[in-house]
């Protein structure tokens, strides 16, 4: 049983596409292809982080999973069951537009009670969890203030609290830490890890903060122009890109002699000065690259200080993947 | 059932909180409704000149006005509310948490009716006190009046669902809603009893009209709708209201789907 659910994942997207048509039929040429054929299985008990540039389709995918947007084709299944069937749908919680997902005229506590009741929680449970959540986010003193008088970050925290209320099976978080201070952002990360590790919940999270994704996510998906162009565990992505990036450190004098060759070398990624040293990075994305670099070094035999593999940050990986992808697109189009 | 009660409680609390937090809106609304009535009343009196004639038909006048109030609530409040919730962004959160939106709308209608009933009572008493015309409402006919009221209002809220649905798809429907409210003002005062033939059937098949005329039968003419030929009209009213509720529900469901297709539950 556990085997089958794990294979099916907590939820699964199959052949998902979404085209937004303008409301007026004669404007059909202005249709937007927001999602273009996304297949994805997110296993249970995992934080999946969806990354991508603005307009890549992250929010659209999150809203399709939430049932707020109907896909043009394809489908969403939860634990192997059709997402359209409300009866078998697991409990979802979401932060979609953050502060805008609340009643501004009600207090944080009243918002929590209202949405708690909609979730079908008992009053006792709502009371217990709300107090705890507000306490955690340091909002107890604002519990009864009108939400519109709270700061943006505070409102965002209330929205996160509403999403966490009742520990939903699947959490959909669209930029949950937008505008939050470092401490609150850390608190949320901690809480999310707890939910995943202790309660076996599943979380999908979009963000533009790479450090956040790197710290909290088990798996990463990178979206570009509506397509999922990379999807793997964070450690695999890092391992993959580590093999490709090398850093060469050498004294300035040596560098002066090597300069022309290195600049012309096609696997050179960049160079920077570090004290008396020069640092050159190479991106070797195929075997040819290793041979070429070896030949260069053999031919010139520079007195280098060190040469080492670089552990790329998620940000580096993200930029490389998305840039590489859009270059490929341009090349294909020409 | 238990879930429905929880929903009801949540909606009552939300609605009461929003009202008492901004009581000005309530008082101003009540005051405007009262002033509008007095304007109509004094205007009619100066036109007719003869107080006797006006007084004879004043109870019908009051009943039409009060019933119109429910239309304002059903078409106005429910649809405008959804419109502003979509703009705020809170509608998406609500839908995500409780995806059976039609059930939620029905519960909201029930809550809205209960709240309106309180306001209407205040309005009615103010009107009766200033005009000196006390409607013949007593233990003898209160049951009939309540039945007629609930059945009529069911149809009106059913009709309101159409606007709530349109608000989901088109967002800014405020203008149309206002025009609609005035169309209903006209309907509430239409002397339906004097119409004949197909025109009468056509007008009676609209929401509100038949209900208003039956309430007048009970209150003004001291008739009964539980027995005699009028009971057939009561049956007609039930059918009319159920039909509007069904049509409204279907339109709402279609609009909800359309709105999700276009990704417009939020404020995009
Ligand atoms: N309801 C809608 N109607 C029409 N077009 C839409 C709608 N929602 C999104 N789009 C379009 O779909 C594309 C993807 O938008 P989406 O909001 O999913 O991007 P995103 O990845 O969340 O971007 P961001 O990082 O800026 O939040 C965009 O081109 C956007 O203009
Ligand atoms: Mg987005």
CATH code at A277? 3.30.70.120
Same domain? For A135 and A179 the reply is: no
CB contact A55 to B (< 8 Å): no
Q: What is the DSSP letter of A139?
A: -
CB < 8 Å to B99, chain A: 67, 86, 89
Q: Is A95 a domain residue?
A: no
Whether A94 and B96 lie within 8 Å, measured CB to CB = yes
The DSSP symbol for B192 reads: G
A320 inside domain: no
CA A36 vs CA A224, A327, B18, B259: distances in Å:
10, 18, 42, 21
Distance CA A116, CA A127 (A): 9
Mark whether A158 and A119 lie in a shared domain: yes
Residues A3 and A85 in one domain: yes
Q: Would you say residue A325 lies in a domain? A: no
DSSP H stretches of helix in B132-229: 142-170, 174-189, 197-204, 209-219
Residue A54 CA, ligand 2 centroid: distance in Å: 7
Are residues A107 and A138 located together in one domain of the fold? yes
Q: Tens-of-pLDDT digits for all 334 residues of chain A? A: 444 445 568 899 999 999 998 877 887 788 899 999 999 999 999 999 999 999 999 999 999 999 999 999 999 999 888 878 888 889 999 999 877 889 999 999 999 999 999 999 999 999 999 999 999 999 999 999 999 999 989 999 999 999 999 999 999 999 999 889 999 899 999 999 999 999 999 999 999 998 899 899 999 999 999 999 989 988 888 877 777 788 888 888 888 888 888 888 888 888 888 778 888 888 887 788 888 888 888 888 888 888 888 887 888 888 888 887 777 655 433 2
B13–A contact, CB cutoff 8 A: yes
CA-to-CA distance for B200 and B90, rounded, in angstroms?
A: 44
Chain A CB contacts of B17 below 8 Å = 106, 110
State whether A76 and A178 are in the same domain. Answer: yes
Minimal CA separation from A72 to chain B, in Å:
8
CATH, residue A2: 3.40.50.300
A74 plus A174 within the same structural domain: yes
CA atoms within 13 Å, Cβ hemisphere of A228: 17
- From the CA of A64, the nearest ligand is 1
Top-confidence residue, B194 or A114? A114
Distance from CA of A111 to the nearest CA of B (A): 9
The residue among B5, B93, B255 with the most chain A CBs within 10 A of its CB, best to mutate, is B93
For residues A84 and A9, state if they share a domain. Answer: yes
Per-residue pLDDT at A323: 82
Q: Residues of A numbered 136-155 whose beta carbons fall under 8 angstroms of chain B's beta carbons: which are they?
A: 146
Q: Indicate the range of A5-9, A222-226, B26-30, B211-215 predicted with least confidence.
A: A5-9
DSSP codes, A311-324: ---HHHHHHHHHHH
- Opening angle at CA B6, ends B98 and B261, nearest 5: 15
Q: In terms of domains, do A267 and A127 share one?
A: no
Q: What value does the mean pLDDT take over residues B198-202?
A: 87
Among candidates B66, B157, B167, B168, which has minimal Cα distance to B110?
B157
Which helix (DSSP H) or strand (DSSP E) does residue B62 occupy?
helix B51-71
Question: In what helix (H) or strand (E) does residue A127 lie, and over which residues does it extend?
Answer: helix A123-136
**Looking at chain B from residue 25 to 84, which residues have their Cβ under 8 Å from any Cβ of chain A?**
none
- Quote the ipTM score: 0.91
Q: Whose CA is nearest to atom 27 of ligand 1?
A: A54
Are A148 and A281 contained in the same domain? Answer: no
Question: Quick check: B77 and B119 in contact, CB under 8 A?
Answer: no
Q: Is residue A318 part of a domain?
A: no
A317 inside domain = no
Share of chain B above pLDDT 90, in %: 48
Judge if A235 and A252 occupy the same domain: no
Nearest CA in chain B to A32: B262
The total domain count for chain A is 3
DSSP string covering A145-189: S-GGGS-HHHHHHHHHHHHHTT--SEEEEESTTTT--HHHHHHHH
**Pocket of ligand 1, candidates A16, A59, A68: which has the most ligand atoms within 8 Å of its Cβ, to mutate?**
A59
pTM: 0.87
Q: Helix B209-219 and helix B197-204: axis angle, to 10°?
A: 100
Taking the CA atoms of residue B123, residue B129, residue B133 and residue B139 in that order, the dihedral angle to the nearest 10 degrees is 70
In whole angstroms, what is the distance from residue A84 CA to residue B188 CA?
A: 42
Cβ within 8 Å of residue B19, ≥6 positions away: B25, B26, B115
A101·B89 Cβ contact <8 A: yes
Name the residue with the closest Cα to ligand 1, atom 31. A55
- Do A56 and A26 belong to one domain? yes
What is the rounded average pLDDT for all residues in chain B? 89
User: Is A72 in the same domain as A31?
Assistant: yes
Question: Range of A279's domain?
Answer: 243-310
Q: Which ligand is nearest to the CA of A27?
A: 1
Ligand 1 atom 22, closest CA: A59
State the best of A28, A35, A61, A68 to mutate against chain B, taking most chain B CBs within 10 Å: A68
Q: Can you tell me which residue has the tokens 């079908």?
A: A120
Please name which ligand lies nearest the alpha carbon of A63: 1
């Amino acid at each position: 049983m556990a085997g089958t659910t794990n294979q099916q994942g907590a939820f699964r997207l199959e052949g998902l596409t979404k085209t937004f048509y303008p409301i007026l039929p004669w404007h059909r040429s202005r249709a937007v292809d927001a999602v273009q054929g996304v297949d994805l299985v997110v296993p249970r008990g995992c934080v999946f982080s969806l990354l991508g540039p603005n307009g890549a389709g992250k929010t659209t995918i999150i809203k399709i999973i939430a049932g707020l947007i109907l896909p043009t084709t394809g489908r969403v299944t939860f634990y192997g069951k059709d997402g359209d069937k409300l009866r078998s749908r697991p409990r979802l919680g979401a932060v979609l537009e953050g502060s805008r997902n609340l009643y501004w005229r009600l207090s944080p506590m009243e918002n929590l009670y209202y949405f708690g009741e909609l979730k079908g929680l008992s009053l006792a449970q709502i009371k217990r969890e709300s107090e705890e959540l507000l306490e955690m986010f340091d909002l107890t003193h604002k519990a009864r203030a009108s939400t519109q008088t709270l700061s943006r970050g505070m409102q965002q925290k209330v929205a996160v609290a509403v999403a966490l209320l009742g520990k939903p099976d699947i959490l959909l978080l669209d930029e949950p830490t937008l505008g939050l201070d470092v401490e609150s952002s850390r608190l949320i990360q901690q809480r999310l890890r707890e939910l995943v590790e202790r309660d076996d919940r599943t979380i999908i999270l979009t963000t533009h903060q790479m450090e956040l994704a790197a710290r909290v996510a088990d798996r990463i998906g990178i979206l570009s122009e509506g397509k999922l162009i990379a999807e793997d565990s964070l450690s695999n992505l890092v391992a993959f890109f580590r093999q490709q990036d090398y850093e060469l450190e050498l004294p300035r004098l040596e560098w002066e002699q090597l300069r022309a060759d290195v600049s012309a070398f096609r696997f050179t990624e960049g160079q920077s000065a570090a004290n008396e040293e020069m640092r050159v990075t190479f991106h070797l994305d195929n075997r040819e690259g290793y041979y070429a670099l070896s030949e260069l070094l053999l031919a010139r035999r520079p007195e280098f200080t060190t040469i080492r593999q670089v552990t790329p940050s998620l940000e580096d990986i993200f930029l490389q993947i998305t840039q590489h992808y859009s270059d490929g697109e341009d090349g294909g189009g020409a | 059932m238990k879930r429905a009660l929880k929903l009801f409680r949540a909606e009552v609390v939300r609605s009461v909180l929003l009202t008492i937090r901004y009581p000005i809106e309530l008082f101003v609304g009540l005051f405007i409704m009262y002033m509008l009535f007095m304007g109509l009343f004094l205007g009619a009196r100066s036109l007719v000149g003869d107080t006797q004639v006006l007084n004879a038909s004043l109870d019908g006048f009051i009943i039409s006005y009060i019933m119109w109030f429910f239309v304002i609530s059903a078409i106005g409040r429910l649809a405008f509310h959804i419109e502003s919730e979509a703009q705020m962004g809170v509608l998406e959160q609500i839908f995500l948490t409780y995806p059976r939106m039609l059930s939620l709308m029905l519960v909201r209608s029930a809550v809205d009716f209960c709240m309106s009933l309180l306001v209407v009572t205040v309005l009615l008493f103010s009107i009766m006190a200033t005009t000196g015309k006390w409607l013949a409402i007593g233990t003898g006919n209160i049951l009939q009046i309540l039945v007629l009221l609930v059945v009529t209002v069911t149809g009106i809220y059913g009709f309101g669902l159409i606007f709530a649905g349109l608000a989901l798809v088109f967002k800014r429907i405020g203008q149309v809603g206002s025009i609609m409210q005035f169309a209903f003002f006209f309907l509430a005062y239409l002397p339906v009893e004097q119409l004949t033939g197909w025109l009468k059937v056509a007008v009676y098949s609209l929401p509100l009209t038949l209900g208003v005329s039956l309430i007048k039968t009970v209150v003004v003419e001291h008739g009964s709708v539980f027995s005699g030929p009028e009971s057939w009209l009561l049956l007609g009213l039930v059918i009319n209201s159920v039909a509007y509720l069904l049509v409204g529900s279907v339109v709402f469901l279609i609009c909800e789907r359309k709105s999700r297709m276009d990704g417009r539950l939020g404020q995009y």
